[in-house]
Structure 1
Amino acid sequence: MADITADPGAEQDGLTPVKPIESELLVVTGMSGAGRSTASDALEDHGWYVVENLPPQMLGTLAELVSHAPGSIPRLAVVVDVRSKGLFTDIRTALGALSASGVKYRVLFLDANDGVLVRRFEQGRRPHPLQGGGRILDGIAAEREILGELRDSADLVLDTSDLNVHGLATAVTELFSESGPIALRLNVMSFGFKYGLPVDANYVADVRFIPNPHWVPQLRPHTGLDKDVSDFVLGAEGVGNFVDRYVMALEPVLDGYRRENKHYATIAVGCTGGKHRSVAVAMELSKKLAQYPRVTVTTTHRDLGRE
C-alpha cells in the first residue's frame, strides 16, 4: 500500500525525518471450515485491524482509505469467503484492480483436506454454505471449484488439516506477529507417501531411493531424529550429493520468492512411512537452508509417530 513520508521541509529545519510508514494489506480467504475465524482472531491479537466478510468490490475503497492514513491502521486484514455468494466471483477482478493502482497486498489461503472439513462441519452441526440440499461434500466440491484459481495464485497457502485452534493460532503468530514476516520463511516437512502428499507443498523431494532403515532390525524401532538412523541415511551412497545439489537447485527459487514478495514456502521430503529417511533428510536440508541470509527455517514431521 502507499507510503506516507514526512514533510520534506523537516530535514531542512534540522529535524530528523520521520521514517515512512508502510501499511500492510492481507486478504484472508480459503475453504469454509479451514479456520478463517481462528486466523482472524490471532491477527487481531497481534495488532491487525480485521474486517470480516467484506464484499470484494469494497477492497479497493477500503485500501484507499487506509493508505491515506497508514498510521491509524498500519496493518489491515480483510476476510473474504463464499458467504459473499455471487460477489466472491469478483475477487479476482478486485485484486487485479488493487495491483493496477499500486496497492501492495498478500493473500493468505487456508485449506484442509475434505475429510477434515467434513468432520469439522459435523462437529459444529452446521451445513456447508454451498451444499444446498446436497451433502457436505457437495458443498466442499463446489467451493473448491470457485476458489481453485485464487488458491493457485495465493502468496501463502496454509494447510490446517493437522492443526487444532491453538496450532493454527501459533502458525499465524509466527507468520504475522508484530515484528512482521521475515523476508522468507521455509517449512521443511517430512512425510510418508502412504499417507498422501501434503496439499500445501511447494516442492516435493522423494527420498525413497535411499536404503530403508526399516529393514535393519536394530534401526527399525528408531526414527530419523536418532543419530544412528541419521548416520545410516545420510551416509548412504549419493545422499550427501543429493542434498547439496537440491539446496543449490533451490537457490534461484529463494531469490525469486524474495523478488515476488513471497514470504512462505513448504518443502516436503517424503519416504514410504515418514519415519526414517524423510525425517533425517529433512533435518539435513533444514540445517543447510538455514545458512542462507534472510531465511528462517522450521522443520516439521507430519507423519512421525503414526506407525
Structure 2
Amino acid sequence: MSNGDALTPVKPPENELLILTGMSGAGRTTAAHALEDMGWYVVEGLPPELITTMMDIIARHPGSVEKLAVVLDVRSRGLFTNIQDALAQVKASGINYRMLFLDASDELLVRRFEQGRRPHPLQGSGRILDGIIAERDLLKDIKGGAEVVLDTSSLNVHGLANSMNDLFAADGPIQLRLNVMSFGFKYGVPADANFVADVRFIPNPHWVPELRPLTGQDAEVRDYVLENQGAGEFVDRYVDALLPVLEGYRRENKHYATLAVGCTGGKHRSVAISEELARRLDQQPNVTVNTVHRDLGRE
C-alpha cells in the first residue's frame, strides 16, 4: 500500500460510534462496563482529536470492532478545547455517532465522592462542590449537544446497567424510545426532561375526600382528571404537537426522549395524564413508550 493510499479516509458505514461522557461521579464506569458486557469495544482516555483516526483504523480491518464506545471525561486531554472540532471532523468524514451524557444532582454527586473518599478532579484546594460546579460549567455545551441525557440520581448500579441495556443492546436503540415521566413540582423538575408539561390547571383530586387516598392509576382518579374541562383537549393538542417533533428526531438520528408531566405532588393529575399520553403515543409507528411515576408513593 502506498503512502497516498494510507492517507485516504475510509468511511465505516457499518460501525457504530458512541461518545460516553458526563459528570464525574454520575456513573461512567458502570455504564462503560455495561457496554462491554453488551459487546461494545470501550476506550477510555482517548484524546478527542484521535477519534476519527481510530475509526479509520477500525474501518480498514472489517469485523474487528463493530461497536466502539469512547469515554471522555475531564481527564481526557483536550476535552474542552478540542471536542467540538473533533466531533465536527467525525461528522464531516461521514461517521454517524451518538452521544450519551450522564448527569446527577449536585447533592448526590457530593455524597458519592464523600462515600468513595476521593477528591473531585477539579476541586483543587476547594470543596467537592466547587469542583462539581466548575465541571458543570465546562460541560454545559457538551451536554446541550448530547443525543441522550440520562439522570442517574435515582439509579443504583443495577438500575444504570439496565438503562444502558435498554438503550444500547442488540442493534442499538429502537427507532424511537419515549420515556413519559410523571413528577411533583414540589420535589423538583426532572433534570433529564426534554419536554415539561404542567397539568396543575386541572382541579386537584387531592381535595376530593374519596379520591385523596387513590392515585392517577386508579380508574376513579383517571376519569375525574380526564373528564375535567380542558384535560382532553390538552392531551389531544399535546400529542399533535409532538408528532412533528418525533418525526424530526428520526431524521436527526435521535433515539430517546423524556417527556415529563408535572402536578403538585406527582400522585394524581400528572400520573393520569402521563398514562393517557403514553397510551396515545404508543400507538404511533416505530415508537416504544415507557412510563415512570417518579414521585408516586411519596408522602
The aligned amino acid for 1:208 is: R
The aligned amino acid for 2:60 is: H
The aligned amino acid for 2:11 is: A
Asked if 1:141 corresponds to 2:150, the answer is no
Correspondence for 1:121:
113
Correspondence for 2:298:
306
Correspondence for 1:256:
248
Q: Compared with structure 1, are the counterparts of its residues 33 and 109 closer, same or farther at alpha carbon in structure 2 (3 Å cutoff)?
A: same
Q: Secondary structure at the match of 2:91?
A: helix
Q: Secondary structure at the match of 1:140?
A: helix
Correspondence for 1:62:
54
1:71, 1:280 → 2: CA distance?
Answer: 48
Asked if 1:111 corresponds to 2:120, the answer is no
Correspondence for 1:2:
11
Matches within 5 A, 1:11-160: 22-84=14-76, 86-160=78-152
Correspondence for 2:239:
247
1:80 deviates by 0.6
1:3 deviates by 4.5
1:87 deviates by 4.5
2:12, 2:56 → 1: CA distance?
Answer: 12
Matches within 5 A, 1:224-239: 224-239=216-231
Q: Do the aligned residues in 2 keep the contact of 1:185 with 1:263 (CA within 8 Å)? A: yes
Q: Secondary structure at the match of 1:149?
A: helix
Correspondence for 1:280:
272
Q: Secondary structure at the match of 1:84?
A: coil
Correspondence for 2:211:
219
Correspondence for 1:163:
155
Q: Do the aligned residues in 2 keep the contact of 1:89 with 1:146 (CA within 8 Å)? A: no
1:39 deviates by 0.4
2:200, 2:232 → 1: CA distance?
Answer: 15
TM-score w.r.t. the length of structure 1 is: 0.92
Query: Is there any run of 5+ residues in structure 1 with no aligned partner, and where?
Result: 5-21
2:79, 2:24 → 1: CA distance?
Answer: 16
Q: Do the aligned residues in 1 keep the contact of 2:194 with 2:257 (CA within 8 Å)? A: yes
Q: Do the aligned residues in 2 keep the contact of 1:114 with 1:140 (CA within 8 Å)? A: yes
2:290, 2:114 → 1: CA distance?
Answer: 33
Alignment root-mean-square deviation, CA: 1.3
TM-score w.r.t. the length of structure 2 is: 0.94
2:61, 2:242 → 1: CA distance?
Answer: 39
Correspondence for 2:177:
185
Q: Do the aligned residues in 2 keep the contact of 1:80 with 1:88 (CA within 8 Å)? A: no
Q: Secondary structure at the match of 1:51?
A: strand
More deviation in 50-59 or 108-117?
50-59
1:222, 1:85 → 2: CA distance?
Answer: 53
2:62, 2:107 → 1: CA distance?
Answer: 41
1:63, 1:56 → 2: CA distance?
Answer: 12
Asked if 1:295 corresponds to 2:287, the answer is yes
Identical-pair percentage? 68
1:69 deviates by 2.9
Q: Secondary structure at the match of 1:187?
A: strand
1:198 deviates by 0.8
Query: Is there any run of 5+ residues in structure 2 with no aligned partner, and where?
Result: 1-9
